[in-house]
């Protein structure tokens, strides 16, 4: 898949209005501009804005109604503004517009970061061990940021974080449900009644996965971490569990031999993270169950918008099948979690 594509039908930007606005509000901006759309992603809309002298990345919420507090681009802008000075793998933000008259929704611009982006580990034709270790080590680096000394404590409320996570994702599932899924319902009930003790809080990305990373062009090194919409302060095992859930989904990240030689499996991922952080991983299976449930709900929210006619992107037509499969996976994971 190419990095950018022609803008999908129905997701075009009003280029003249955007150019006029940026000419007034963004220092150094000078048109004319052209617009391309980043090919990946299923939720927020992300565009490449090109001018003769510069390139920018623009992010806005998806079209149509969105759940309350979801897709908050102004919050993501503020968060990156606080985080990028202390975590260089977070892109630097440039401008946020909260005037819906420009694009119909709040949007922000950030610097363009270059690198290689992979949907699956099987696309990586090089040393899988070094690449997958870089994925783990970048997460360790993020979780090691000192919150107090870097003024990041107000990015979230760590007390009661896991309870709010489970409650919030349960509500999202109930609001977007289009059919009865008994396996997923059982997972939701299990997560609500078995919340484990919380670990020491840190910056939690909350959607840490392979295709939210950019790798260096010439080395097994992570250059940038993308998509910070759900980032907050909380239990770091939420990130580890979510990553392992993505590792598990469809074997897409090498768990069934599809990755390059040496690619870490889920046990290897967890072991390296534990060795480098010294954190207690006893409750990691619960967090992986939560991760699978969250992925199912993310896809269900997108599928709900498709069923309601709020998006015409045909990629979403079969997401209902994916949700059912994820519900079954989460149920199996739940049964191994004790």
pLDDT digits (tens, 9 = 90+) for 63-111: 765 655 556 899 999 999 999 999 999 999 999 999 999 999 999 999 9
- 302's CB contacts (< 8 A; 6+ apart) are 42, 43, 311, 316, 319
Please list the alpha-helical segments (H only) found in 236-283. Answer: 237-248, 266-277
Question: Mean pLDDT across the chain, nearest whole number?
Answer: 89
Query: Percentage of the chain with pLDDT > 90?
Result: 68
The pLDDT tens digits of the residues spanning 188-225 come to 999 999 999 999 999 999 999 998 999 999 899 999 99
Over residues 240-260, mean pLDDT = 66
- Look up the CATH architecture of domain 4-111: 2-Layer Sandwich (3.30)
Please tell me which residue, 306 or 325, carries the higher pLDDT value.
325
Superfamily of domain 121-337: Aminoglycoside phosphotransferase (APH), C-terminal lobe (3.90.1200.10)
Q: Which two tokens stand for residue 255?
A: 């768990």
Q: Where are the domains of the chain?
A: 4-111, 121-337
Q: Which tokens in the block code for residue 287?
A: 């967090």
Which pLDDT score is estimated for 54?
96
pTM given for the model = 0.89
Q: Give one word for 237, left, alpha or beta, with left for phi > 0 and alpha for psi -120 to 50.
A: alpha
Q: Determine the pLDDT at residue 308.
A: 82
pLDDT per residue as tens digits for the range 114-169? 999 887 777 787 788 899 999 999 999 999 999 999 999 988 899 999 999 999 99
| Residue 235 CA: distances (Å) to CA of 28, 58, 86, 229 | 40, 30, 20, 17
Q: What is the reported pLDDT for 329?
A: 93
Give the per-residue pLDDT at 18. Answer: 96
> Pairing relation of β-strands 55-60 and 202-204?
unpaired
Cα-based angle 100, 105, 108 (whole degrees, multiple of 5): 105
Instruction: State the pLDDT at residue 101.
Output: 92
């Amino acid at each position: 898949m190419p990095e950018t594509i022609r803008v999908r039908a129905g997701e075009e930007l009003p280029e003249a209005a955007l150019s006029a606005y940026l000419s007034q509000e963004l220092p150094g901006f000078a048109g004319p501009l052209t617009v391309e759309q980043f090919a990946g992603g299923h939720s927020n809309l992300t565009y490449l804005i090109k001018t003769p002298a510069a390139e920018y990345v623009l992010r806005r919420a998806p079209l149509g109604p969105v759940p309350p507090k979801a897709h908050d681009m102004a919050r993501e802008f503020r968060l990156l503004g606080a985080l990028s000075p202390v975590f260089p793998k977070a892109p630097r933000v440039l401008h946020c517009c909260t005037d819906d008259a420009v694009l119909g929704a709040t949007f922000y611009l950030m610097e363009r970061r270059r690198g290689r982006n992979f949907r699956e580990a099987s696309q990586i034709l090089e040393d899988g061990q070094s690449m997958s270790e870089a994925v783990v080590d970048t997460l360790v680096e993020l979780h090691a940021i000192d919150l107090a000394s870097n003024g990041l404590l107000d990015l979230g409320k760590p007390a009661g974080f896991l309870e709010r996570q489970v409650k919030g994702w349960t509500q999202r599932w109930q609001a977007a449900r289009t059919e009865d899924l008994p396996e997923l319902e059982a997972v939701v009930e299990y997560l609500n009644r078995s919340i484990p003790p919380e670990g020491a809080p840190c910056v939690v990305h909350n959607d840490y996965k392979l295709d939210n990373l950019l790798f260096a062009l010439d080395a097994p090194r992570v250059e940038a971490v993308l998509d910070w919409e759900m980032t907050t302060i909380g239990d770091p095992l939420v990130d580890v569990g979510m990553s392992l859930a993505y590792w598990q989904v469809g074997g897409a990240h090498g768990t069934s031999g599809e990755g390059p030689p040496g690619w870490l499996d889920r046990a290897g991922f967890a072991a390296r993270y534990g060795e480098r952080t010294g954190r207690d991983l006893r409750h990691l299976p619960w967090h992986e169950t939560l991760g699978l449930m969250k992925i199912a709900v993310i896809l269900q929210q997108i599928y709900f918008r498709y069923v309601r006619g709020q998006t015409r992107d045909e990629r979403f037509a079969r997401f209902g099948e994916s949700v059912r499969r994820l519900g079954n996976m989460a149920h199996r994971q739940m049964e191994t979690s004790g």
